Amino acid sequence: MVDTLTPAQRSERMSRIRSANTLPEVTLRKALHRLGFRFRLHGRRLPGKPDIILPTYHTVILVHGCFWHRHEGCKVATTPKSNTKFWVEKFDRNVRRDAVVIDQLEAAGWQVLVAWECELASFAKVTAKAISLGEEIKGASR
């Protein structure tokens, strides 16, 4: 494939990809914080290093990118048309790893919640997701 991007365009595109990986997590954290939740970040000793940990509620939240973690039925979770076998195997490994991590966390007594990146694509969506997560988080301690 011919590379038609100038270095500036490429770097602009890359920076957007990078921020797409972290921005949803940050905005979700802020929204949960506004709702009064307090948490720890990236628990190094927990399986899968969960993005958001709420010790009080024994809950962790995994923020998953729809493409890499294969959000079922999501329009972002496409499969590239070239090197398809490579991608399918890679995605299968990711999905298997996620399932193992969730099993390990649950076995250790954590409630595991997942926030998909497409659910965090706008301020309104983040707010709505934070509210619904908040109900699940509190539900766990009942």
From the list 118, 125, 127, 128, which residue makes contact with Zn ion (rule: CB under 5 A)?
A: 118
Taking the C-alpha atoms of residue 47 and residue 13, their distance in angstroms, rounded to an integer, is 32
Q: Which stretch binds Zn ion (CB under 5 A): 26-34, 81-89, 95-103, 111-119?
A: 111-119
Give the gyration radius of the chain's Cα atoms. Answer: 17
Taking the C-alpha atoms of residue 104 and residue 74, their distance in angstroms, rounded to an integer, is 26
From the list 105, 116, 129, 133, which residue makes contact with Zn ion (rule: CB under 5 A)?
A: 116
Query: Is residue 74 within the footprint of Zn ion (CB under 5 A)?
Result: yes
Number of residues engaging Zn ion in binding (CB under 5 A):
5
Query: Is residue 37 within the footprint of Zn ion (CB under 5 A)?
Result: no
Query: Is residue 66 within the footprint of Zn ion (CB under 5 A)?
Result: yes
Q: In the sheet where 111-116 sits, what is the strand order?
A: 40-41, 52-54, 59-64, 111-116
Least distance from C-beta 20 to Zn ion, angstroms? 12
Q: 135 is written with which tokens? A: 């109900």
DSSP-based three-state secondary structure for 15: helix
Query: Is residue 71 within the footprint of Zn ion (CB under 5 A)?
Result: yes
Query: Is residue 121 within the footprint of Zn ion (CB under 5 A)?
Result: no
Least distance from C-beta 76 to Zn ion, angstroms? 5
Query: Is residue 95 within the footprint of Zn ion (CB under 5 A)?
Result: no
- Closest by alpha carbon to 90, among 74, 101, 77, 103? 77
Q: Which residues contact 141 (CB under 8 A, 6 or more apart)?
A: 56, 57, 58
Least distance from C-beta 75 to Zn ion, angstroms? 7
Q: Can you give the binding site for Zn ion, defined by CB under 5 A? A: 66, 71, 74, 116, 118
